[in-house]
Every structure is written in C-alpha cells, then in structure tokens.
Structure 1
Amino acid sequence: MLNYLSKRLLISIPTLIAISVVIFAILALAPGDPMAEFASNPSITEEVKENIRKALGLDQPIYIRYVKWAWAFIQGDMGYSFTSKSPVFGLILQRLPTTLWIVGTSYILSLLIAFPLGIISAIKRYSGIDQLVTTFSFMGISLPPFFSGLLFIIIFSVQLNWLPFIYNSTLQVNDWTSLIEQIKQSIMPIAVLSLYQSALLMRFIRSSILDELNQEYVRTAKAKGLKSFSVLMVHILRNALIPVVTLIALDIPKIFTGALITEQVFRVPGIGALLIDSIYKSDTPVVMAITFIYAILIVIFNLIADLTYSWLDPRVRLSIKS
C-alpha cells in the first residue's frame, strides 16, 4: 500500500506542475489588462502606470513570472491581488466560511437524500416509489441551477415573500434573531444546489445497485440463506459504491472552491463569486490561486478515491500489492 501511495504521489507532482503551467500560460496570454482600471483615470500618468506594472512584475517575461509565482506558492505565498492589493490568501480565507456553509451544507444534504432514495428506488424497481424518485431525479438534473435559482426567487421571494433573494454578507450571527435570518437567507441557495446534486447522485446510486443485483454472487448469497438486507448492505452496496466514490471524489473539491452559478444568482459572497469577479477584472493572481487549489484538491481526492477502492473491493487491494 505504501509503495502504491508513493507511486501515485510521484505521478501527481508532474501532473500538478503541468496543470499550473497550462493555467498560468492561459491567464497570461488571455485578453484583458490588469491596468485597465487606471486607463480612465487622468490623474495617473504613463510613468506611474509603468511603475505599477513593474511593481506587479508584469514587465517580466512569462517564464520568469511563472517561476517566481511557483516558488512563492510552494512557500505559501499566493501573491497580491491586482485590484484590491490585498494578499490572495487573505481574500480566499475571507470567503471560505461562506462557501463551506452554503456548498458544504448542500452537499451533506444531497448525500442524506440521495443514498436512501437511490437504494430504495433500485430495490423497488418499476414500483410507484421508483417512478416518483426517477421523476424527481430527472427533474433535478434537467433544471440547471441558474433556472431553478430564478424560479425559487420568483416563488419564495417575489410571490410569497418568505425568503430574501439576496444574501446579506454583512449579517453577523450573535443571537437567535440573526441565526434565523442566516438560515432563511441560506435556504434557497442550499436547496438549489441540493436539488441538482442529489438528483445526480440518485441516478448513479440507482444505476450502480441495479448493475449488481443480477450478479452471480448475489444469487449465490441468497441461495445460501442470507437475508436480502444482509446481502444488500454487506455485498451489493459495497460493490455498487465504487463508481459513486469516483463521483463524490470529483465533487468534494467544489465544497472548497464554491458554486459559480448559484453564488452569482443569490449574490452569495463565496469563493465562486470571487473567481468570477477576478476573471472580469483580469486579476490573475486570484484566478490562478483558486484554479490551482481546485486542481490540487482534485488530485488529492482522486488519490483518496483510489485508496477507498482497495477497501471496497479486495481485488483492487490485491492488484495494488502485486
């Protein structure tokens, strides 16, 4: 296992280096100028603009800028924002609690909904429950988050006036009243994300379990007298979780990097909204940091998924040892 882990880590390092080079090159060559905000300001002379460009390192060749950025990133320095002049790490840290609260809560809720409904739908195939769950999952997948978000705003904010449609980033929870307000303003973005994610997970879980129900080992276990519940929990579910683990491993990094569309619809001041704003303003250090952190998390959770396979399927464990 240690040999397998060390090999995967050695593969991950050049993978991350290649990803960082590609992202940095795309951002450096993309249209847009970080100095554009100063263009309309007549009080800033060309000499001052040139000094600012030198201070930001924009006058240097792209490969030198990349090496400096990479070395600083390894040391924990993500640089400074071109627009706010604040440390990038501080900007991300400032937005992270909101993103973890909204996206993290919605994902946990999605798992709590998807697993029992997906399992029941597979076991009760073609029943009324299966038809209901399948309809719900297809509806959730078919409705994009921006559309369901606007639909929620029209119904619950405009028509019924139950919930606020703009997230109040200045709200501080210090009593029961502020706690209730925090919950109320979080309901719609969490519900929109949960609707889509739980529908997607349900389809995967249902499909994976159905693939396992007709396997030989299931019939053999039932022929030996094992109860259906034991066969499901001990054998079927364990094997069916392998493709589901892959999907979850690819989705978990989104909890840390935010939901781009939903945060824009509800004006949630999370990392996703920060990324969109930084792209509009050509704020390369912020965009680079967020995208590369997302790449690192993808690689880490893929590695965790591979290690989880060895626990779920003994055949994978044997192949790793060999």
Structure 2
Amino acid sequence: MRNYLFKRLLISIPTLIAISVVIFTILAIAPGDPMAEFASNPSITEEVKENIRKALGLDQPVYIRYFKWSLAFIQGDMGYSFTSKSPVFGLILQRLPTTLWIVGLAYFFSLLIAFPLGIVSAIKRYSAADQLVTTFSFFGISLPPFFTGLLLIIIFSVQLNWLPFIYNSTLEVNDWASFIEEIKQSIMPIAVLAFYQAALLMRFIRSSILEELNQDYVRTARAKGLSGFWVLMIHILRNAMIPVVTLIALDIPKIFTGALITEQVFRVPGIGALLIDSIYKNDTPVVMAITFIYAILIVVFNLIADLTYGWLDPRVRL
C-alpha cells in the first residue's frame, strides 16, 4: 500500500504543476485589463496607472510573474485583489463559512437520501418503490438547479410567503430567533442542491449494484445460503462502491468552491459568487487562487479515491 501511495503522489505533483501553469497562462493572456476600472477616472494620470501596474507586477513577463506567484502561493500568500485591494486569502476565508454551511449541508443530506434509496431501488428492481425512486432521480437530473430554485422561490416566497428568497449575509446568529432565521433562509438553496445531487448519486448507486447482482460470486454466495441482505452488505456493496467513490471524490471539492448557479439565484455570498464577481471584474488574483485551490482539492480527493480503490479491491494495488 505504501508503494501504491508513493506512485500516486509521483503522478499528483507533476499534475498540479501542469495545472498551475495552464491556469496562470490562460488568465494572463485572457482579454480584459485589470486597470480598466481606472480608465474612466480623469484624476488618475498615465504615470499613476503605470506605477500601479508596476506595483502589481503587471509590467513583468508572464513566466516571471508565474514563478513569483507560485512561490508565494506555496508560502500561503495568494496576493491581493485588484478591485478591493484586500488579501485574497482573507476574501476566501470571509466567504468560506457560508459556502460550507450551504453546500456542505446539501451534500450531506444528498448522501443520506441517495444511499438508502439507491440500494432499495436496486434490490426492489421494477417494483413500485423502484419506479418511484427512478422517477424522482430523473426529475432531479433533468431539472437544472436555476429552474428548481426559481420554482421554489415562486411557491414558498412569492405565493406562500414562508421563506425569504434572498440570503441575508448580514444576519448574525446570536440567539434562538436569529438561528431560526438562518435556517429559514438556508432551506431553499440547500434543498435545490441536495435534490440535484441526490438524484445523480441514486442513479450511480442503483446502476453499480445492478451490475453486481448478476455476477457469479453473488450466485455462489446465495447458493451457500446467505440471505439477500447479507449478500448485499458483505459482497455486493463493497464492489459496487468503486464507481460511486469516484463520483463522490469529484464532487466533494465543490463544497469548497460553492454552487455557482444556486448562489446567484438566492444571492448567497459564498465562494462561487466571489468567483463570478471576480471574473466580471477581471480580478485575476482571486480567480487564480480559487481555481487553483479547486484543482488541488480535485487532485487530493482523486488520490483519496485511488487509495479507497486499493482498500475496496486489493487487485488495484498490483
């Protein structure tokens, strides 16, 4: 297992370096000038603009800027935002709790929903329960989150007036009443994300278990007298989890980056909204930091998934 981990690390490190080069190069040559916000200000002369450009390091060649950025990033310095002049790390930390609260809870609830329903749907194939779960999953996959979000806003905010349709970022939870308000304003974005993610996971879990049900080892286990439940728990579930682990490993980093569309619909001040705003404003340091952190998380959780494969199926380590 140690050699297997070492091999995966040897692949992961060059992958991250290549990703950082691609991200930095694309954003460096992308159209748009970070100094555009000063263009309409007559009080800022060309000399001042040039001094600001030098202070931001924009007058240097791309490769020098890349090496300076990468060395600073390794040391924990993600630079300063072009628009707010604040440290990028501080901006991310400011938005991170909201993103973890909304997207993290949504993913947690989606796992609680998807696993039991996906297993029941596979075991009770073609039954009424299977048809109900399959219909639910098809609706969840087919309906885009922005449509589901707008639908919930129309029903629960406009028609029934039960829930607020705009997330109040200034709300401070310091008593029971404010905690209830926080719950109320979080229900709809969490429901939208959990509905979509649970539907996707259910399809994968159901398909993975169905592929294993007709394998020879399952028939052998049943011939030995094992009941359906124990056959599933001891034999099928462990093998069926390999493709599901891949999907979960790729989805968990989204908890950090947030839900871009859902955060825009409900005005949730998460990292996804910060990324969209930074793209509009050509705030390159913020975009690079969020994008590269997401890439790091993808590589790390892929590594975790590979190690999980080795535990689920020892043949992978060979």
TM over 0.5: yes
Q: Which residue is 1:140 aligned to?
A: 140
CA drift at 1:312? 1.2
For 1:70-219, what aligned pairs fall within 5 Å after superposition?
70-219=70-219
For 1:218-229, what aligned pairs fall within 5 Å after superposition?
218-229=218-229
For 1:156, the aligned partner's letter is: F
Between the aligned partners of 1:83 and 1:294, the Cα distance in structure 2 is 22
- Secondary structure, counterpart of 2:253 in structure 1: helix
Q: Provide Cα deviations, 1:173-195, integer angstroms capped at 9, x if missing partner.
A: 00010000000000000000001
For 2:83, the aligned partner's letter is: T
- Secondary structure, counterpart of 2:85 in structure 1: coil
Q: Provide Cα deviations, 1:39-63, integer angstroms capped at 9, x if missing partner.
A: 1111111111111111111111111
For 2:157, the aligned partner's letter is: S
- Secondary structure, counterpart of 1:135 in structure 2: helix
For 1:116, the aligned partner's letter is: P
For 1:226, the aligned partner's letter is: L
Between the aligned partners of 1:123 and 1:225, the Cα distance in structure 2 is 18
Q: Which residue is 1:309 aligned to?
A: 309
Gaps of 5+ in 1: none
CA drift at 1:315? 2.2
Whether 2:247 is the aligned partner of 1:279: answer: no
- Secondary structure, counterpart of 1:293 in structure 2: helix
Between the aligned partners of 1:51 and 1:314, the Cα distance in structure 2 is 59
**What TM-score do the two structures reach when normalised by structure 2?**
0.99
Between the aligned partners of 1:119 and 1:152, the Cα distance in structure 2 is 28
- Secondary structure, counterpart of 1:165 in structure 2: coil
Q: Which residue is 1:41 aligned to?
A: 41
- Runs ≥4 in structure 1, deviation > 4 angstroms? none
Between the aligned partners of 1:113 and 1:11, the Cα distance in structure 2 is 35
Q: Which residue is 1:259 aligned to?
A: 259
Between the aligned partners of 1:131 and 1:4, the Cα distance in structure 2 is 42
Between the aligned partners of 2:124 and 2:47, the Cα distance in structure 1 is 73
Q: Which residue is 1:288 aligned to?
A: 288
Between the aligned partners of 1:132 and 1:7, the Cα distance in structure 2 is 44
CA drift at 1:2? 1.3
Q: Provide Cα deviations, 1:68-126, integer angstroms capped at 9, x if missing partner.
A: 00010111110000000111000001100000000000000000000000000001110
Between the aligned partners of 1:188 and 1:207, the Cα distance in structure 2 is 29
Q: Which residue is 1:269 aligned to?
A: 269
Between the aligned partners of 1:289 and 1:124, the Cα distance in structure 2 is 46
| Identity of matched residues, % | 88
- Secondary structure, counterpart of 1:163 in structure 2: coil
Between the aligned partners of 1:130 and 1:203, the Cα distance in structure 2 is 11
Between the aligned partners of 2:36 and 2:165, the Cα distance in structure 1 is 32
Q: Which residue is 1:69 aligned to?
A: 69
Between the aligned partners of 1:193 and 1:307, the Cα distance in structure 2 is 28
CA drift at 1:228? 1.2
Q: Provide Cα deviations, 1:134-170, integer angstroms capped at 9, x if missing partner.
A: 0000000000111111111111111111110100001
For 2:270, the aligned partner's letter is: G
Between the aligned partners of 2:286 and 2:73, the Cα distance in structure 1 is 12
What is the aligned-residue RMSD (CA, Å)?
A: 0.7
Between the aligned partners of 2:57 and 2:217, the Cα distance in structure 1 is 63
**What TM-score do the two structures reach when normalised by structure 1?**
0.98
Give the number of equivalent residue pairs.
318
Q: Which residue is 1:238 aligned to?
A: 238
Between the aligned partners of 2:29 and 2:150, the Cα distance in structure 1 is 35
Whether 2:18 is the aligned partner of 1:12: answer: no
Between the aligned partners of 2:267 and 2:300, the Cα distance in structure 1 is 30
Between the aligned partners of 1:279 and 1:216, the Cα distance in structure 2 is 53
